[in-house]
Structure 1
Amino acid sequence: MNRRQALALGGSAVVAPALIGGRAFAQAAAVEIGTFAGGNFDIVRDVAVPAFKKENPGATINVVMRTAADHYPKLLVTRDKPREAGGMWNDTFSALGSKAGLFAPFDPALVPEQKRLNQDLQPKNGLGIAVAVQPYGIAYNPKYVEKPKSWFDLFNPKYAGRVGMHYNFWDQYVALAYALGKDERSIDAAIDEWAKHKANIGSWTTNFTTLQEQIDKGDIWLGPNWGGFTTAAQRAGASIAFAWPEEGATQQTIIAHVNANVDPAVNKVAQSFLNTWLTTDFQEAYLNRMSLSPSNPNAVISPEMAALEGVVTPERLRTRRLIQYDYALVGNNLADIRKRIEERLR
C-alpha cells in the first residue's frame, strides 16, 4: 500500500458536499489524517471512519500511518501548506509543535465531545485534545519481585543487573527528579542519582516490546515502562505487572491536533472527524484493544480492567499522582540529555 500505508475511504479526491454540524460545504479534496501504526491505525479504521462516514457520506478521509518523530520535521518544512489536516501526536511533539505554531485551535462547535472530557488530562497549553492516556511507572515480573512502591525501589542492591532501562526515553529521569523533590529542570540530578546505582542496570532497550519480553522471561526483573503497554502484555498472558510509584507516574498521552494553514473547508472536516476520537465508542475500543485509558469519563471501564494498575480510572486520578511536566522544555534538550546518559550511565 503506497503513501505510507494510506487508507482511502470514500469516493474520489473531489467529492460531494459533506454535512458537518447540519451545514453543507464543499470539500475540495480528500482529508489526510495521520495516526500511529498498529492498533492505533486499526481502531481509527474500524471505529472512527465508519462512524464519521455514516454521518458524512460525502467526505473522503485518508488515514496515514506515521510516527511523531518522523513526521514532525516534515511538518516543520511544509508548515505553510501541510499535507495532513491533523492527526495523532505524543506529548513531546505536541508541545514542541504548539510552541512552533504548527497547530490550530479546535472550534468547540466542531468537537462537541470535547466538553465531556476530563479536563485535568488535557494539555496545559490549551492546544490539542487528549484522546487516550497511560501512566509511565514501573513494570515488573511478580515471580521475582514484590510490587515496587517507589521509584527508589529500582536502586535496591538485590536488583543488581536486573533492571531494564529505555535508552531513547527520558521519563524515568523526569519522574525521579520529582521523587527527589525537584522537577524536569533538574534531570541532571536524576541522572546523577541513577549513576550511583548503575550496577543495577542489566539491559538497555530501544522499545517497550523488548523490555517487556525480557521481564516476562526473567532476564530482567523490572524497569520503567508505560502502564498501558505493560497492561496489554499482562492481559496477553505475560508474567508482568505494572506499579504506579507513590511519588507519581508521568502522563503519556495520545493527543489530537489539527494543523495550521489548512484550507478552511478541509479543516472543518478534519475537526469533525477527530471529534469521533473523543466518543465513548472510540475510547472504549482503545481501552479494550490496547489498554490505553480514556479521557472521556463516560467511557465504560470494566471491573476487570479497573483492577489493573496500568489503567487510569477516575478513582486512581483521585488517589494517585499523574505528572504533567513541561514536555517542550525536555524535548528541546533531548540531545544534551542523551549525551549525559551516555557519559554517566552507559
Structure 2
Amino acid sequence: MSLAFPRRALLAGAAALAAPLVMPRPLRAQKGGSLVATTYPGIWDDSFREIVAPAALKTKGVEVEFQALFAVDQIAKFAASRGAPPFDAFVLDPGPRITAIERGMFEPFDGKKLTTLPKLPPQLVDQWGAGCAAQVVGIAYNPKKVPKPGGWDDLLKEPWVSRLGLTGFGTTFGTVSLIELAKVFGGSETNVEPALAELKKVLPKIAAVGTPAAMPGLFQQGQCDVMYTNTQTVMALKDRGVDIEFATPRTGAVAFFTTLHIAKGSENVEAAYKYIDTVLSAPVQEALTRPPANLVPVNKDVPLSPNLPMKSLDEMSGFVTHDWAKINPLRGGWIERFNREMAK
C-alpha cells in the first residue's frame, strides 16, 4: 500500500503480506549439526540472525539457517511439504500454534532436554514446545498530540478517533485488541460484531486504515497518533526518537507468549533442542531485550525493561488472555469482513 494514502489503503490478508517474502528457492532442512528455523520478517529476523545464530554456533556447535515467514505462512508451507519439512523449528503466536497442534505439525517436546529449563516459568514449557518471548498489548499514543487514553472505547471518541491508526485481524495483537474493543460494547472473544458496528459509525473520522506492517511507519510520520500495538513496537519507535508512550487500558493489558516448536519429521531434532536452548539462554535473552529487538524475556535471570507495564513475568498472570481454540475457527471470516467493510 502507498503510505501517501493511508486513510483507505486496502488491507491485504496475511498471505499477501508475506508474498514479497517468498524464498527464491525452497530450503530443505539440513542434516548433521545444522538446521533451518523460522523467524518473523523484520526485527525478529534481523535480531535472530545477528544474535542467535552466532551464539548457537559458538555455544552449541549448531549452524542455523533462517527463513523469514509470518506464522500463517509457516503453517501453510509446512502443510504443503507433504512429509518433507521445509524447516526444523517453528516460531509461532498462540493462534497458529493451536492450528499446528491440531494438524499434528510438531514433534513431541521434552523440556528436560533444555539446560535452561530451571530458569523458565513452568507454564511456558509443555509437550509441544517452549515460550521464547512474552508479548504485551495495549494502546500506544503520542503524548504531545493526544491525552493518554484510558480504555479501548476511548479510541472511538475525540480527540483520539480522528488520530487513530486502524488495522484488522491479520495479527495476534490486532485480533486481541479488536476483541477487547468488542467486549466494551457487549461482545466477547467469539463475538466481535459490536466492535465492527461501532467502528462503522466513526470510520469517516479515522485518520488511517492500513496493514499491521504499515502502522509503525504511519505513526512515525505523524499520519496517526494513537494505535493498538505491543510494547515491542512502542520501544522500537521510541528508540528512533518518536514521541510515543504505552497506555494500559483500564480493563488490563493483553498478554500472550511466542513459542518455539520442533517440526514433525525433522531429521535434526537434537540440533533443534540446542537451538531452542540457545534462544532461551540468559545471554541471548538479555541481548534480545536491547534495541532493536526489544523482546520481553522469559528467562528469570534477565531483568525486565523499566519501560514495560510490569516488574516481573509473574504479574502477567493478571493480564487479559484469550482462548485461541475458540478464536481460530472465526478469525478467517473476521479478516475477510474487516477488509471488505473497513478498508475501502
TM-score, with normalisation over the residues of structure 2?
0.80
Aligned to 2:284: 282
Q: Deviations over 1:107-153 (max 9, x none)?
A: 12322313422345x38x85322111221211111111111121111
Aligned to 1:95: 98
Aligned to 2:296: 293
Quote how far apart the aligned CAs of 1:178 are.
Answer: 4.2
2:178/2:192 contact within 8 Å kept: yes
Which of 72, 76, 80 aligns to 2:79? It is 76
Quote how far apart the aligned CAs of 1:288 are.
Answer: 0.6
Q: Deviations over 1:82-130 (max 9, x none)?
A: 131113222221221112111123212322313422345x38x853221
Aligned to 2:140: 139
Q: Give the Cα–Cα distance (whole angstroms) in 2 for the partners of residues 275 and 65 of structure 1.
A: 20
Aligned amino acid, residue 242 of structure 2: A
Higher strand share: 1
Q: Deviations over 1:150-173 (max 9, x none)?
A: 111112233343211113342221
Cα distance change, pair 119–190 in 1 and its aligned pair in 2 (3 A)? farther
1:131/1:277 contact within 8 Å kept: yes
Structure 1, unpaired ranges of 5+: 15-26
1:340 paired to 2:342:
no
SS in 2 for 1:261: coil
Quote how far apart the aligned CAs of 1:335 are.
Answer: 2.7
Which of 204, 209, 212 aligns to 1:204? It is 209
Quote how far apart the aligned CAs of 1:203 are.
Answer: 1.1
1:238 paired to 2:236:
no
Q: Give the Cα–Cα distance (whole angstroms) in 2 for the partners of residues 237 and 165 of structure 1.
A: 22
Aligned amino acid, residue 47 of structure 1: I
Aligned to 1:34: 38
SS in 2 for 1:329: helix
What is the total number of aligned residue pairs between the two structures?
315
Q: Give the Cα–Cα distance (whole angstroms) in 2 for the partners of residues 103 and 68 of structure 1.
A: 14
Which of 308, 314, 324 aligns to 2:312? It is 314
1:79/1:260 contact within 8 Å kept: no
Quote how far apart the aligned CAs of 1:181 are.
Answer: 6.4
Q: Give the Cα–Cα distance (whole angstroms) in 1 for the partners of residues 117 and 196 of structure 2.
A: 38
1:175/1:249 contact within 8 Å kept: no
Q: Give the Cα–Cα distance (whole angstroms) in 2 for the partners of residues 144 and 152 of structure 1.
A: 18
Aligned amino acid, residue 218 of structure 2: Q
Cα distance change, pair 90–272 in 1 and its aligned pair in 2 (3 A)? same
Quote how far apart the aligned CAs of 1:200 are.
Answer: 4.1
1:248/1:320 contact within 8 Å kept: no
Aligned to 1:175: 180
TM-score, with normalisation over the residues of structure 1?
0.79
2:252/2:319 contact within 8 Å kept: yes
Q: Which has the larger radius of gyration?
A: 1
User: For the aligned residues, what is the CA RMSD?
Assistant: 3.0
Cα distance change, pair 297–179 in 1 and its aligned pair in 2 (3 A)? farther
Aligned to 2:89: 86
Structure 2, unpaired ranges of 5+: 1-21
Which of 103, 107, 115 aligns to 1:104? It is 107
